[in-house]
Structure 1
Amino acid sequence: METKDNLENDNQENQVANQEREINVHVHMHENDATIDPIDDTAPVLTERGELRSIDLDELMINEFKGRIVRKDLTKQLKEGANVPVYVLEYLLGMYCSAAEDDLIEEGMKNVKKILTENYVRPDEAEKAKSLIREKGTHKVIDKVTVKLNQKKDIYEASLSNIGIKDAVVPNKIVKENEKLLTGGIWCIITVSYYYEEGQKVSPFSVFSLKPIQMPSMNMEEVYQARRKFTMDQWIDMLLRSIGMEPANLDHRTKWHLIARMIPFVENNYNVCELGPRGTGKSHVYKECSPNSLLVSGGQTTVANLFYNMSSRQIGLVGMWDVVAFDEVAGIRFKDKDGIQIMKDYMASGSFSRGRDSIEAKASMVFVGNIDHSVETLVKTSHLLAPFPDDMIDAAFFDRFHGYIPGWEIPKMRPEFFTDRFGLITDYLAEYMREMRKTTFSDSINKFFKLGNNLNQRDVIGVRRTTSGLLKLLVPHGEYTKEDVRVCLTYALEVRRRIKEQLKKIGGMEFFDVNFSYIDNETLEEFFVNVPEQGGSNLIPAGIANPGVLHFVSEGAAGKLGLYRVETQMTPGNGKHSTSGFGSDTSAKEQVRVGFEYFKGNLNRIAATSRFSEHEFHLHFVDLQNSGNSHTASLASLIASCSVLMNKPIQESMVVLGSITLGGVVNPVQDLASSMQIALEGGATKVLLPMASASDIPSVPAETFTKFQVSFYSDPVDAVYKALGVN
């Protein structure tokens, strides 16, 4: 009986050894396949007849990355049938299906499906799998394994998430060889054994052998050599196919935005946000395309979870992952009051303080969310960071962002945007990106360009980080040209300026310097970089408006400066006056009444032949930037009433500043610099200023003041003449 048991055990051990050998053979082949001789630098090759032909991107990838690539439509087919991370599926597909021939792919797919069927454990079949291990003695499974040290027993114990085993004994050697098991866990092919005897103090389950489902090693020289065989466009297309997108159906701008989503994977402590419509795949790359990133869903989190747990003295997510991405920014909530402050400290320096300790981490922070309104509306009436929760609407917080990817320029995902061609297997791409975190290309700008004088220190840091990240992705071997740096630098200036434009709206004149530029070291020519959504969004339309239509800047009821429009209509009547657009705000209506009363009492000084008593006037008020009702609309009311009565329009693109009392006293502008900045952003080219504000002109940046044709007025009647262009 004992001999029979020994034979059975020997057979089981031989069976396990054979299974291990089978896997190792495939992995060995997988590693050695990439040692294929590279094709020559010119990309075209000779056919049998001696003719030159260009190499297709798929063929180029097969030659340069054999064993490291997979057809992405195969991943989609398997993903629909098994709830396994993409990098697990692609590891198996890379082992069995990296050939181009259909019959070999079909055979490989059968093998992968067989492995998943026999070895992948669904959570609802956990007890069946445990029973199988007990009956067979050993069984190979695919599962996520996390290891902890049980200090009471002085052993390592593994938790297998799907199968539900919490305390499988793990040999010390396996833990030493795979330290990732101790930091959040990894997916593995595990041989689990079962042995039980009465009175034993450890679990009957133990890990006999373990192979991580990831690249066993990363040879960056292999990537550098391969990169030399690709053009820039080919390399971009290959990266996009590797994350599952089909570049043939994407325009140039969209490609760059998708590449920009990958910068946090190659840059340490890179902070970026992307807001846009639903369905544009904002969170896809952070959830599916790397085992080194974590997508935080649900919004609510704690300082202990994210940064540092004081009681257990363990670092949080920022110390365990390369990228921490927050899905749906509108729902972000910290249970701790100091959560956002700690996040600000971390985003600025890569370190934070908890208790007596100052702790450093390398994780990049990504914020993705939805914009419910049109971008044109937000640009005109608010700012493009409005979807963030109120607690985070803070200029100091947003100033830590290195870039803002315009999600509204990325189309909603449709089937044709997903590729069915070859791409790098996800884990190989992830390891390549992780290796690039160890180097920096931030000094690349200095070799060819200087940054303009509108960039402050944080702007410079953001632009250098983005440029470095793009070059790491696109030119990993470091052999970049001046034009390579120029195109990356231009994109980096744009995404940082997008942040600065919003800061200007949130924080005022402190952030007025948004005219980002770079200077060519050779020619000394200066190039300015704009953000597309700012163009053509003027609230003040070009051309001469109808009589009675006027724009002015004033502080609103909420204490925020804003741009307003007054539209006045005149109909036959008996001198009555009415208003609309103010709601029930009596203070705002009173200001309009002050202007109209001054108009009635001083009409003979302005247009002696006109008779207001034969007309009725209706003034409609429009709050163009949701700033709340204006309580200083008296001068605007006077000028608009004179304009419509005299049938003379206001000067083209003019904004009126200042207010008056019923007795005709002119009040100076409270915040001249910010008021002129808002007028400039609204599209004004002329501004009407009270003489009383002349002493405040030095507070206005020269870049702003010189954009206007300025007219000064000394009293209300003078203001009417200047506004209507009457001598």
Structure 2
Amino acid sequence: MNELNQKICSEFAGLVVRKDLVKTVKGNAIVPSYVLEYLLGQYCATSDEASIESGIQTVKEILAKHYVHRNEAGLIRSTIREKGRHKVIDKVSVSLNDKKDVYETEFSNLGIKKVLIDSGTVKKHPKLLVGGVWVIADVEYDHTEDKDASPWILSTIKPIQMSHLDYDRYIGARSKFSLDEWIDVLVQSIGFNPEFFGRRSKLMQLVRLIPFCERNFNLIELGPKGTGKSHIFSEFSPHGILISGGEVTVPKLFVNNSSGKLGLVGYWDTVAFDEFAGKQKKVDKALVDIMKNYMANKSFSRGVEMLGADASMAFIGNTEHSVPYMLKHSDLFDALPEKFYDSAFLDRLHFYIPGWEIDIIRGEMFSSSYGFVVDYLAEVLRHLRNQDYSDHYSEYFKISPQISTRDRDAIHKTFSGLMKILFPQGGASEEEIEEILKFSMEGRKRVKDQLFRIDSTYADVNFAYTDKANKETPVQTLEELQYPNYFNKTVGDVTDIGMPEPEVISSQESPNKAQPNTDEPSATVNDEAALKEQHLTFSENQRGVSYDSLFGPYLKGAKLITITDPYIRIFYQAKNLMELLETIVKQKAEEDEVVVSLVTVEDEFKGEQQREHFDKIQSSMFAVGIKFAYSFDTSGSQHARHIITDTGWKVSLDRGLDIFQQYDVNDAFSLSTRLQKHRSCKQFEVTFIKVE
């Protein structure tokens, strides 16, 4: 129980659960997380270990006794017959039998159909009519001689979701957390360990929640497999539904004109389309046209009648190529089916999550800490759909007047959604609002940048905002900064697909659609004459950076190198040091010797292990002409992190050598383990200073 977990359990007593318990109780039950957490919230919403253990056993017993496995459905039906009545946990759907003028229930796993249900219950829970709902139901058996009558009787039915929300309590408790703490609370609630995510990556996880709290929000995420794109939409909320992109039809999604039955958008807060990408997928052109109208106007037609709905849409798919390949040969919407590869459809998307920036989900990335029972958070987000936070930046910032109404609406919707998630109580500072506004603009700019490439008739837009001092700040996407040699060029113009070495972001920024700024400091230095003083900034999730290309040229020719970094203590930090020494080995002549001196701070608890790491490094380096020595600063005042060479260069590092995000060091087949430039970076800055 760290300090944050204690705070969560104290402020939200009875509404949080330890996230690793879901796996503990799930077993082979194929149910969404919100169903399991509903049960855990009833019996395990505590930090007391004894109560948790008792609660886990209770939940396991409930699942064992009442959850219906498909392969055991016959046994459960027999139990109902013999006992006369039995409680089941199952997914049910309801349909209207218009010939008999009755509503009939179908149990998905139990395998029974045509069970009568009263119209009052259907009116109270209309989602039973569309897509199905997980419930706890009492089913009775009463055999009858009437062949047309079903022997199954539905006694009681209760959808698995919270019945009451104290929103004022939520707002009051939120105000006791800092923004960093609150972001970590939400990331833990989703089920992830925030220690494995940088600030930008955390925000990307939270953007996935916006469709649940913002009406008619259109989100797309394209990226590699295994990054958890569909997790939120399948497991998180009873108010969202995930459907396969290949199963979408006009009647299913909008309205069946022959029966008048309303589709998914009329009942669900969020409709997510899984496996949406795939160039060869067949898509109904009529569906695309109706979808375009709905995404723009929040309405669709049923014959001559116009109907409105507020369901948000999320489109999830896998990319087939790397980002630089797509920028070279096509665009970042390259993977979409041909009918959806339509500028009018794409222009209605409010935010594009760059899925390639999100790490493949590994086992250690899941949380074992406390987070909200997801059903509770889902109800909070649903409550927030009635509020509008889109103008909360106007006190401090103005968006460029060049930005079109559609672009502005997209930015406003994303900004409003993130503000609801992060600051439902208000009170965000100017710096915090600026971060959210900039992030919201970037997500829409990613859409617009690709539209420029697809359709040259779109007018150029200056994605920028101004502060109260009238200072203009341009917004750029990470891929624009990372691949400047071909991002701003017309498809086919680029002759060199090779990635620039490394993809460094300078403190200068080039305007949208402009050619790369040749005055920017170069990060690739091929000879000593090209070495120069410069300051470089790197963005979170940027790739293509390595010690070789960043530091190598400045270390070449040095005979004495002093590394000062107080945080070379634990294993991964010592590994970073070893990799820097490897760079030095590559830069020196085989017959030369280089003295490398490390000044650091002794670890308070694992000093012996720290020395053991250094001794092993010392032994290994001696054989290749590197005389490595280390010393501990005991003054207690050491904070600087830099590298100084006897050739007159000082490299000042705001993060020291710790510039890479966490990766699985034990995965021998991962490129991020073997090549630094395939790792995601943390946000950091480097300054090269000539001191002689």
How far 1:371 moved relative to its partner?
2.2
2:376 maps to 1:428: yes
Select 1:309's aligned residue among 243, 256, 279.
256
Q: Which residue of structure 2 aligns with residue 104 of structure 1?
A: 51
Per the TM alignment, residue 66 of structure 1 is displaced from its structure 2 partner at its CA by 1.9
Q: Secondary structure at the match of 1:476?
A: coil
Alignment partner of 2:472 out of 526, 533, 539? 526
Counterparts of residues 454-469 of structure 1 (less than 5 Å): 454-469=402-417
Partner residue of 2:424 out of 476, 480, 483: 476
Matched residue, 1:413? 361
Query: Judging changes above 3 Å, is the alpha-carbon distance between structure 1 residues 172 and 298 closer, same or farther for their aligned structure 2 residues?
Result: closer
Corresponding residue of 2:216:
269
1:562 Cα deviation after fit: 4.2
- Aligned 1:498-647 pairs, distance under 5 A: 498-508=446-456, 510-513=458-461, 515-520=462-467, 522-539=468-485, 562-563=492-493
**1:222 pairs with 2:173:** no
- The aligned residue for residue 547 of structure 1 is none
**Cα 1:177/1:356, change in 2 over 3 Å:** closer
Give CA deviations for 1:582-639 in whole Å, capped at 9, x if unaligned: xxxxxxxxxxxxxxxxxxxxxxxxxxxxxxxxxxxxxxxx8999xxxxxxxxxxxxxx
Residue of structure 2 in register with 1:114 after alignment: 61
Provide the rounded CA distance (Å) in 1 between the counterparts of 2:210 and 2:196: 22
Q: 1:103 to 1:243 in 2, by over 3 A?
A: same
Task: Name the TM-score, length of structure 2 as normaliser.
Answer: 0.69
Does 2:242 correspond to 1:295? yes
* Aligned equivalents of 1:286, 1:473: Cα separation in 2: 16
1:281, distance to aligned residue in structure 2 (A) = 0.9
Post-superposition shift, 1:437? 0.9
Question: Are residues 175 and 324 of structure 1, via their aligned partners in 2, closer, same or farther at CA, if it must alter by over 3 Å?
Answer: closer
- The one-letter code sitting in structure 2 at the alignment partner of 1:250 is F
CA contact (8 A) 1:379 1:533 kept: no
Counterparts of 1:10-409 in structure 2 under 5 Å?
A: 56-199=3-146, 202-297=149-244, 299-331=246-278, 333=281, 335-409=283-357
Offset at residue 509 of structure 1 (A): 5.1
Change (3 A) 1:182 1:343: closer
Contact 1:381 1:624 in 2 (8 A): no
Which amino acid is the alignment partner of residue 446 of structure 1? S
Provide the C-alpha distance between the structure 2 equivalents of 1:250 and 1:82, rounded to a whole number of angstroms: 29
The equivalent residue for 2:665 is: none
Name the counterpart of 1:32: none
How far, CA to CA, are the matches of 2:229 and 2:366 in structure 1? Answer: 14
Q: Matched residues in 1 for 2:477 and 2:512: separation?
A: 17
User: Taking structure 1 as reference, are residues 155 and 460 closer, same or farther at Cα in structure 2, changes over 3 Å only?
Assistant: same
Q: Matched residue pairs, number?
A: 506
Distance in 1, Cα, partners of 2:486 & 2:336 = 28
What amino acid maps onto 1:71 in structure 2? Answer: R
- Local SS of the residue matching 1:296: strand
1:171–1:207 Cα contact (<8 Å) kept: no
CA 1:370–1:315 in 2, change beyond 3 Å: closer, same or farther? Answer: same
Instruction: Decide which moves more: 397-406 or 167-176.
Output: 167-176
Question: Cα–Cα, structure 1 residues 431 and 224, in superposed 2: closer, same or farther, change >3 Å?
Answer: same
Contact 1:442 1:468 in 2 (8 A): yes
Match of 1:611 in 2: none
Q: How many Å apart are 1:152 and its aligned residue?
A: 4.1
Higher helix share: 1
SS at match of 1:508: coil
Any idea what SS the aligned residue of 2:113 has?
A: strand
Q: Report SS of the residue matched to 1:315.
A: coil
Which residue identity is paired with 1:488? I
- Identity, in percent, stands at 44
Q: Distance in 1 between matches of 2:409 and 2:285?
A: 29
Q: What's the CA shift for 1:683?
A: 6.4
Note the C-alpha offset of 1:215.
0.5
Question: Structure 1 residues 200 and 624, CA, compared in 2 at 3 Å: closer, same or farther?
Answer: closer
Partners in 2 of 1:561 and 1:145 — Cα distance? 50
Which AA in structure 1 matches 2:360? K
Q: 1:76 to 1:425 in 2, by over 3 A?
A: same
Q: Aligned partners of 1:324 and 1:256: how far apart in 2? A: 21
Q: Which residue identity lines up with residue 450 of structure 2 in the other structure? A: Q
- In the alignment, the residues of structure 1 paired with residue 122 and residue 250 of structure 2 have an alpha-carbon distance, to the nearest angstrom, of 29
Letter of the aligned partner of 2:79 in structure 1? L
| 1:151-204 Cα shifts (integer Å, max 9, x gaps) | 444443322211112122334554454444344332221111122343485322
1:238 CA drift (Å)? 1.0
List gaps (5 residues or longer) in structure 1: 1-53, 542-552, 554-559, 566-621, 626-675, 686-727
Describe the superposition over 1:422-459 as per-residue Cα deviations: whole angstroms up to 9, x where unpaired. Answer: 11112111111111111111121223221113311111
Q: 2:384 is matched by which residue type in structure 1?
A: M
One-letter identity of the residue aligned with 1:529: V
Gaps of 5+ in 2: 500-510, 520-692
8 A contact 1:126–1:163 mirrored in 2: yes
Shift in Å, 1:261:
1.2
- Conserved 8 A contact 2:282-2:337: no
User: Kindly tell me: are residues 154 and 316 of structure 1, through their superposed partners in 2, closer, same or farther at Cα, counting changes over 3 Å?
Assistant: closer
Contact 1:380–1:538 (8 Å) recurs in 2: no
Q: Work out whether residues 131 and 264 of structure 2, in 8 Å CA contact, stay in contact via their aligned partners in 1.
A: no
Q: Is the 8 A contact 2:324 2:483 kept in 1?
A: yes
In structure 2, relative to structure 1, the CA distance for the partners of 1:162 and 1:561 (3 Å cut) is closer
The Cα of 1:279 is off from its aligned counterpart by 1.3
Preserved CA contact (<8 Å) 1:539 1:624: no
C-alpha separation in 2, matches of 1:564 and 1:249: 36
Deviates more, 1:380-389 or 1:153-162: 153-162
Aligned counterparts of 2:363 and 2:437: Cα–Cα separation in 1? 32
Instruction: Kindly provide the amino acid, as one letter, of the partner of residue 376 in structure 1.
Output: P
CA distance in 2, matches of 1:157, 1:401: 38
**What letter corresponds to residue 563 of structure 1 in structure 2?**
D
Q: Secondary structure at the match of 2:45?
A: coil
User: Which deviates the most, 346-355 or 474-483?
Assistant: 474-483
Cα deviation 1:444-485 (Å, max 9, x = unaligned): 122322111331111100110000000011112234333332
Residues 539 and 683 in structure 1, CA contact (< 8 A), matched pair in contact too: no
RMSD: 2.7
3-state SS of 2:456 partner: helix
1:487 aligns with 2:435: yes
* Residues 33-85 of structure 1, C-alpha deviations (whole Å, 9 max, x = no match): xxxxxxxxxxxxxxxxxxxxx98221122122222111111102223421122
CA deviations 1:81-132 (Å, max 9, x no partner) are 2112211111111111112122211111111111111111111222221121
The amino acid across from 1:227 in the alignment is R
d(CA) in 2 for partners of 1:561 and 1:129?
61
CA-CA distance at 1:404 after TM superposition: 0.9
Q: Give the drift of 1:133.
A: 1.0
Aligned-partner Cα distance in 1 for 2:327–2:459:
16
Cα 1:94/1:561, change in 2 over 3 Å? closer
